[in-house]
Copies of this chain bind each other. A is one copy, B any other.
Amino acid sequence: MRFAIYLPPQASEQEKVPVLYWLSGLTCTDENFMQKAGAFKLASELGIAIVAPDTSPRGDEVADDESYDLGQGAGFYVNATEAPWNEHYKMYDYVVDELPALIQSTFPVNNKRAIAGHSMGGHGALIIALRNPSIYSSVSAFSPICNPMKCSWGQKAFTEYLGKSKTKWKEYDASELMRHSKDVIPVKVDQGESDDFLVEQLKPEALVAASKHSNYPLELNIHNGYDHSYYFISSFIEDHLRFHSAHLNR
């Protein structure tokens, strides 16, 4: 497994810094956010480390598929139970347990964690935070897949990775999780109104309905004229960093 890390200049054994985990979207690697988001300047001022894992296991011996939305580059942040995926695709455990253990034992970081992501990674950030509200101080997402059980990206991936029973799917669906959540952490979502995937795949209205059902606080901002690209992320990443910094340092 590959990951990228940004360490701010403050980070030292004397001053361990908190970590924002960033989860990327379909077809991405550990590099996209680091190269395109423009996050380092403010992260260096705020004293936040950023860790970006790859979006799936990789390699010749790892199961794959010809399509861009399944297999390598498309791990969907689940623990696969179905063959052939269940041999290597354990992205949920990797992001929640394995990677943070490695980061905390290798770099001068403390145990404070926030999580964020984009598209498939926004889905990953939301489900991971909603399932582990005591571990993460805050969660944010750009253009997340809010209700994967009800869109073609999610249905395809969940069928392959988790099988046909929808009971398991609910554990990895942000709208389902928020609908039944009791422990609350701060959630911030930004969505471009000119995003080509908005209606068919992302469905923020499902997250809004869930938040109303469980009275879960949700900050959702719709931005006119913005699409699904990293230009959208780079335009608002500073808002997300300040949001996480406020909660990480509380």
Q: Does A221 contact B (CB under 8 A)?
A: no
Q: Does A94 contact B (CB under 8 A)?
A: no
- A23-43 vs B, Cβ < 8 Å mask (1 yes, 0 no): 000000000000110101100
- A217-250 vs B, Cβ < 8 Å mask (1 yes, 0 no): 0000000000000110011001000000000000
Per the bound structure, the CA–CA distance linking A4 and B9 in Å amounts to 34
Query: Which residues 124-170 of A have a CB within 8 angstroms of B?
Result: none
Per the bound structure, the CA–CA distance linking A235 and B36 in Å amounts to 13
How many chain copies? 2
Per the bound structure, the CA–CA distance linking A234 and B234 in Å amounts to 12
Per the bound structure, the CA–CA distance linking A231 and B44 in Å amounts to 14
- Closest B residue by C-beta to A32: B35
Which of B40, B231, B235 is within 8 Å of A234, CB to CB? B40
Give chain B residues whose Cβ lies under 8 Å from the Cβ of A40.
231, 234-235
Give chain B residues whose Cβ lies under 8 Å from the Cβ of A35.
35-36, 230-231
Give chain B residues whose Cβ lies under 8 Å from the Cβ of A234.
38, 40
Per the bound structure, the CA–CA distance linking A238 and B234 in Å amounts to 15
Residues of A within 8 A of B (CB): 35-36, 38, 40-41, 230-231, 234-235, 238
**Known interface pairs A38-B38, A38-B41, A41-B235; 7 further A-B residue pairs with C-beta atoms within 8 A, sorted by A's residue number:** A35-B35, A35-B36, A35-B231, A36-B36, A38-B234, A40-B234, A40-B235
What are 13 contact pairs spanning A and B, CB under 8 A? Answer: A35-B35, A35-B36, A35-B230, A35-B231, A36-B36, A38-B38, A38-B41, A38-B234, A40-B231, A40-B234, A40-B235, A41-B235, A41-B238
